Chain A
Amino acid sequence: MLRINCPFCGIRDEEEFDCGGEAHVTRPENPANLSDDEWSHYLFNKVNTKGILLERWRHTYGCRQWFNMARHTVSHEIIEIYPMGSFPSFNGMNVENVVKEVEA
């Protein structure tokens, strides 16, 4: 069970949180203009990295606030927790590429 440092409440056990899947998956501005393939890419295709993955989590049984988390999917190490609407700041990862990959 992970220990997660909620930016608003502090360190809590994972059982207070819910994982909302990958972060930085932006909803397309005009879905009607997308082809079926583009829309299904948004709906279903995720990066699902074996390695560092950017996710969004909610402190459901606490402040109910969402935040982003960079987590290693093998070691389960939490590398960084950062606010919604921002990007992680740790070194060693080209975040823009990750985001592009999600949007591609």
Chain B
Amino acid sequence: MNLSKQINPLDRVTNAHRVNPAKPISFKFDGKTYVGCEGDTLASALLANDVTVVGRSFKLHRPRGLMSAGIEESNALIQLESGSGYDEPNARATLIPLYEGLNAKGQNSWPNVNRDVFSVLSLFHRMFPASFYYKSMMWPSWHFYEGLVRKMAGLGKLPELPDKQHYEKQNIHCDVLICGGGASGLAATLALAHTDKKVLLVDAQEEFGGSLLGENRSIGSQSGLEWVENTLSQLQAAPNVTMLSRTMISGYYDQNFLVGSQRVTNHLGRSNENKKIRERLLRIRAEHVVLATGAIERPLVFPNNDRPGIMLASGVQCYLNRYGVKAGQRAVVVCNNDNAYRVAFDMANAGVDVAALIDTRASVNGPFQSKIKEMGIPLYAGTMIRKVHGRRKVKAVSIAAHNGDGHLGKTIKTIECDLVAMSAGWTPTIHLYSQAGGQLSFNDELKCFVPNRCDQNISVIGAANGRFHLEECLTDGLHVVPKTLGTTVNPELNISACDEFAEEPSEAYWYTKNENSEKQWLDFQYDVKVSDIELANRENFLSIEHVKRFTTNGMSVDQGKTSNVNALAVMAELCGKKIEQVGTTKFRPPYHPVTIGAFAGRDIRENYSPRLEMPAHQWHVANGAHMEDMGGWQRPEYYLQSGEAEEDAIRREVLAVRHSVGMFDGSPLGKIEVKGPDAAAFLNRIYVNNVESLKTGFARYGLMCNENGVVMDDGVFVRLSDDHFLLHTTSSGASRISLWMEEWLQCEWPNLQVVICNATTQWANVTVSGPKARDVVALLASDIDFSRESFPHMQVRIGTVNGVDARVLRASFTGEISYEISVPARYGQGLWEAIYKAGEAYGITPYGIESLLVLRTEKGYLHIGVDTDGTTNPLDLGWGRAIAKKEVDFIGRRSLSRPNDTRDDRFQFVGIEVVNPSDSLPVGGHFVNSANPIIPVKTMGYVTSSYYSPNLDKCIGLGLVEGASARAGEETFVYSNGKTIAVKLVQPSHFDSKGERLNG
């Protein structure tokens, strides 16, 4: 028999519901041009053009045809608008409305899906069972295989160009959110129209109607389609109802917070070049949520059930009725339930030759069977497909007697066909219910999981609740929903009689037990077969969550929409349990992938996070500063003069500070004011140091620990008056530390009379540092005496500088004489310019963060979070003696006396010198005991900071090293990237270790 046909893709079944063949649309797939028509999806247009291979499976590169017509599609994943800035990988062809000029490519294949060289892999399928990579890719090491595997892995390709499209986010509040605009969802909305409830109805498809769009049903005297149209026109008139189609709810979170994405202009494709929003992320808070999410059909599991031409019966029906496309010329229907018979009716009525109805159930004799016989379709009750003929497209099926429980007899007949419509029953779409925290129970009669109990304000109606019949869907929507919500049931909304007939009970047919399990597909996308579940069972995986991860069943892009229940059932059969004992895996957001752009919305590039600029920002930019984002602040790293490279600039700045004078913008330095009668007592508990003994006008360097004894922050704190302190924290720690102190005050010590204010951004700070610093500040207009005698190191003065209120602190992070001058932020640039002018005679040099880090490393000053890690305690920093002198408790003190905190071999803070001056010291390099360590080797600590010191003309560093406090002067080795260098452990301060220069 010759089933080939002359293709006219516009020759559609008459009375197709939703396409207009008079309006052709041309598009490209894998480089070839085709034509579809208005109302088509990419999938229906490909099917109309008889394109049978639309994708390749992930692991074995098996040729795959369309499997469904909806969101559950696991074969037809395509790359949309590749390389245009409008790319979308892993798009389901079934969900893409056709538009003029659409350009799609098949994925996971080379050169194309039709002729894929990687299909050779399927010959070796026995080498690739579940999790083969964990067992086989170990010798010599994973890295040996990594390159190849990375190239082969993944389905779609990440777009390489920036996304040219625009996204936004919207918050929505409503009384009732109805998810799903099929029969039950529309009915529920109708029941709530013209009530005082604010109702939002969303549906993921291009238009409302759900499965009614693809079926031939009647509701009272109307057809299903007419009912949809009439209902929609009534809803449009209801002022309390908002309807959003093309809107996918992907996540259901606590207290009825849901996230959806609305595809605003996706259906326009690349023609949307006028910057209209492409997708909108909806953040919805609903008082009550009604899930009317329908159900998804399950594939039957038999050998080679993944061949192109084998489709879900509901998909075949939808292509036929909705798009007017016959998926084949000669079809067989194979099922274990009565519902699939309707597909045979529709096909026969449309002129498709239905060669057989293969029903696994032996004794069935209800209205559906009578009608099949009436229509002259051969019914093979108690049989099942045993063998599929044809590789790139099904050519025939061999059937055998079904002896019950998945066991087949010998082939009794071979039936030629080019289409197999299969149905193993329906699975309610309960993903959102599960995300909401809902528990499921297994319904033995329906052979599926149905909602059971949920703590959120939620109801599930229609097929999503296992109520598959149309009349049940309408009843749920029109009557059950208003009762649940306490609104009155509209007496005019009767349940019209639908074309329902008594159904014979369906039968469990989970897989074909006495046929080759290596050829029976469960997860089509990831090539998970019955044999993989068998392997998991043999390897003693008991939890279904483990089975899922071992076999990857349900982990592909479709997240197991068609494969989940089949895999559970196979597992249950294999270990002799009931399905409910095996349980389900937990569904997590997203139900369907959401474009990353939609999550980002407008929060991209300069809008990504607030940008903090220092008061003198303009000056820095105008004077060659190389700016870098540091903890949100834009800060100069160094100032480039013409012809300079980065290293030259840093060297020049460092030498200027050591030999003359430099100026630094320290405005982001954390400044927290602490005031109140109990301020000193409070800070005494906060700081490792003794605070109460500090005199007014004096400053002290302090450390803070958390309760676990780990160093959190450091800085100089100042006593401005008896009850008023100013705390300097690290620039990145200001906000964190002030919140942390607030927590102690509010939660633990509410009786202390203290207020805290984070004044960091209120004050600009200019630090003048260097041997000539005093000469420069003396030139400023000020009432403060800057002389050596009256203003020593570690003291503070309050007065005016340059005509404005100022606080001047003598503290130093460079090791040179330093004046940290703070003025209200709005005078910051003025102060900066005044100091620059005053310093001109001394060649004052602005220096950036990078230069400061060189200077402080030379001095061995600690940089918290760089030279310390999440285990470093004050003892590791050599503070043991200072702590012993403090008599009272402070936060974290008790932890410091635990055995682990006092071990001799802890990683302790130390200075590092290279033995050979030409070596450079790698940050992150690990200390080892030998010049030729045998890797892997136990680390003895690591290098935390390392710089070339222009003053010492060699590389110096700091680090955390095992037992370092007792190892001063010892030589050891640092290993990094295959290279070992000799180093010497020294005291942290590499330069002026007595600190004489501080006082000048």
A80 to chain B, nearest CB (A): 16
Q: Does the CB pair B746–A31 fall under 8 Å? A: no
Chain A neighbourhood of B455, CB < 8 A: 74-77
Q: Does the CB pair B255–A1 fall under 8 Å? A: yes
Interface residues on B, range: 20 to 34
Complex: A20 Cα to B743 Cα, angstroms: 9
Known: A2-B254, A36-B899, A43-B707. A31 touches B894 (CB 8 A): yes
Chain A 60-104: CB-based contact to B (< 8 A → 1; otherwise 0): 100011100000001111000000110000000000000000000
Known: A39-B894, A74-B455, A76-B455. A32 touches B889 (CB 8 A): yes
A67 to chain B, nearest CB (A): 9
Chain B 876-900: CB-based contact to A (< 8 A → 1; otherwise 0): 0000000000000100011100110
Known: A31-B889, A75-B455. A84 touches B253 (CB 8 A): no
Interface residues on A, range: 20 to 34
Q: Does the CB pair B708–A43 fall under 8 Å? A: yes
Chain B 417-459: CB-based contact to A (< 8 A → 1; otherwise 0): 0000000000000000000010000000000000000011000
Complex: A60 Cα to B889 Cα, angstroms: 29
Contact among B437, B739, B748 with A75 in the assembled complex (CB-CB below 8 Å): B437
Known: A1-B253, A64-B742, A75-B455. A36 touches B898 (CB 8 A): yes
Known: A66-B746, A84-B750. A2 touches B894 (CB 8 A): no
Contact among A1, A32, A65 with B746 in the assembled complex (CB-CB below 8 Å): A65
**Interface status of B966 (Cβ within 8 A of chain A):** no
**Interface status of A50 (Cβ within 8 A of chain B):** no
Chain B neighbourhood of A39, CB < 8 A: 894-895, 898
Chain B neighbourhood of A34, CB < 8 A: 894
Q: Does the CB pair B743–A58 fall under 8 Å? A: yes
Chain A neighbourhood of B254, CB < 8 A: 1-2, 14, 76
Residues from 1 to 37 in A contacting B, C-beta threshold 8 Å: 1-3, 13-14, 20, 26-27, 30-32, 34, 36
Complex: A26 Cα to B707 Cα, angstroms: 13
* Residue of A20, A43, A74 with highest tally of chain B CB at under 10 A: A43
Known: A1-B255, A77-B455, A84-B750. A32 touches B743 (CB 8 A): no
Complex: A39 Cα to B899 Cα, angstroms: 13
Complex: A1 Cα to B283 Cα, angstroms: 10
- Chain B residue, CB-CB nearest to A77: B455
**Interface status of B285 (Cβ within 8 A of chain A):** yes
Known: A36-B898, A43-B708, A75-B437. A84 touches B747 (CB 8 A): yes
B710 to chain A, nearest CB (A): 11
- Chain A residue, CB-CB nearest to B456: A75
Complex: A43 Cα to B285 Cα, angstroms: 37
**Interface status of B550 (Cβ within 8 A of chain A):** no
Q: Does the CB pair A85–B898 fall under 8 Å? A: no
Complex: A76 Cα to B257 Cα, angstroms: 12
Q: Does the CB pair A76–B255 fall under 8 Å? A: yes
Chain B neighbourhood of A56, CB < 8 A: 747
Residues from 583 to 637 in B contacting A, C-beta threshold 8 Å: none
B519 to chain A, nearest CB (A): 43
Chain A 38-64: CB-based contact to B (< 8 A → 1; otherwise 0): 011001000000000000101010001
Q: Which residues of A contact B (CB under 8 A)?
A: 1-3, 13-14, 20, 26-27, 30-32, 34, 36, 39-40, 43, 56, 58, 60, 64-66, 74-77, 84-85
- 10 pairs of A and B residues whose beta carbons are closest in the complex: A75-B455, A31-B894, A1-B257, A66-B746, A76-B254, A39-B894, A1-B253, A2-B254, A3-B255, A66-B747
13 A-B Cβ contacts within 8 A? Answer: A20-B747, A27-B748, A30-B889, A31-B889, A31-B893, A36-B899, A39-B895, A43-B708, A65-B746, A75-B437, A75-B456, A76-B437, A84-B747
